[in-house]
Amino acid sequence: MVQDLIQRIEQLKDRIRGSRYIVALTGAGVSAESGVPTFRGKNGLWKDYRAEDLATPDAFARNPQLVWEWYDWRRQLIASVTYNPAHRTLVELEKNSPRFTLITQNVDGLHQKAGSTNVLEIHGSIWKLRCTLCSDISENYEVPLKALPYCSMCGGLLRPHVVWFGESLPSDVLVKADNALNLCDLLMVIGTSGVVQPVASFPYYARTKGAFVLEVNVERTLISHIAHETILGKAGEILPLFL
């Protein structure tokens, strides 16, 4: 078993070295070892909170106070942790690859904190706020928030600049992601359950465009049958083996 894993890792290292364009697609599993809760699974956020009550535009319209309390709690939690060896490895891969794009569903900013530069935040950022009236986007690192945040330009209520259920993903980011998936020869899919669309279809798309799809996750997922290879294990333990 161990011998087999070592051999597979060696082959994957060759593939990584030989790739002209690597794209990494990450999900909540990459930040799990940093102490950021994932969404699904036994300790996932959706065990204690209903997505419909917190991560939809309707929920925010109904009760912005409640939604902000939840985001404020998550911002405090994220502010108190830091990146892990999985984030670090992706920084090294970016440095060593001719071309590298990181598409993340995570809103925590830990990839950038670790030093990744070419990052597409496809579900937005918990550290950015957007005005519900004028759509102005501003950075905000205040933790905890002292009160509901309002726009300095027009006085409108600010919301987290993240993508909720039923909302479109930012179109400029989608175009860049589409381009990257089209051109890459290796797609690494790390720590995502692959249940949330449209991102869940990215691995399939990249594969049809010719990419080799490598998945790293602690368990098999909806993406596993698309992937050419799935390595089971913690991202923070497996990814450094690729360097």
Is the CB of residue 147 less than 8 Å from the CB of residue 175? no
**What is the spatial order of strands in the sheet that 99-104 belongs to?**
119-121, 99-104, 21-26, 186-190, 212-217, 229-232
Distance in angstroms (rounded) separating the CA atoms of residues 69 and 67: 5
Binding-site partner at residue 131 among Zn ion, ligand BJW, none, CB < 5 to 8 Å by type:
Zn ion
Binding mask 34-73 for ligand BJW (x = CB under 6 A): ----xxxx--x----------x------------------
**Contact stretch for ligand BJW (CB under 6 A) within 5-13, 21-29, 75-83, 175-183:** 21-29
Closest distance to Zn ion from the beta carbon of 138 (Å): 9
**Structure tokens belonging to residue 94:** 């970016």
Binding mask 113-152 for Zn ion (x = CB under 5 A): ------------------x-xx-x--------------x-
Is 219 a residue that touches ligand BJW (CB under 6 A)?
A: yes
Peptide bond into 203 cis (omega under 30): no
* Residue in 24, 29, 189, 202 binding ligand BJW, rule: CB under 6 A: 29
Is the CB of residue 214 less than 8 Å from the CB of residue 228? yes
Nearer to ligand BJW, 99 or 204 (CB): 204
123 is catalytic: yes
**Structure tokens belonging to residue 7:** 């051999």
Which candidate in 123, 161, 225, 228 is catalytic?
A: 123
**Contact stretch for ligand BJW (CB under 6 A) within 60-68, 87-95, 129-137, 165-173:** 165-173
- Strand runs (DSSP E) across 86-191, as ranges? 99-104, 119-121, 124-131, 137-139, 158-162, 186-190
Half-sphere exposure of 37 toward its Cβ, with a 13 Å CA cutoff? 17
Is 109 a residue that touches ligand BJW (CB under 6 A)?
A: no
What residue ranges bind ligand BJW (CB under 6 A)?
A: 27-29, 32-33, 38-41, 44, 55, 105, 107, 123, 162-168, 191-193, 195-198, 217-219, 221, 234-235
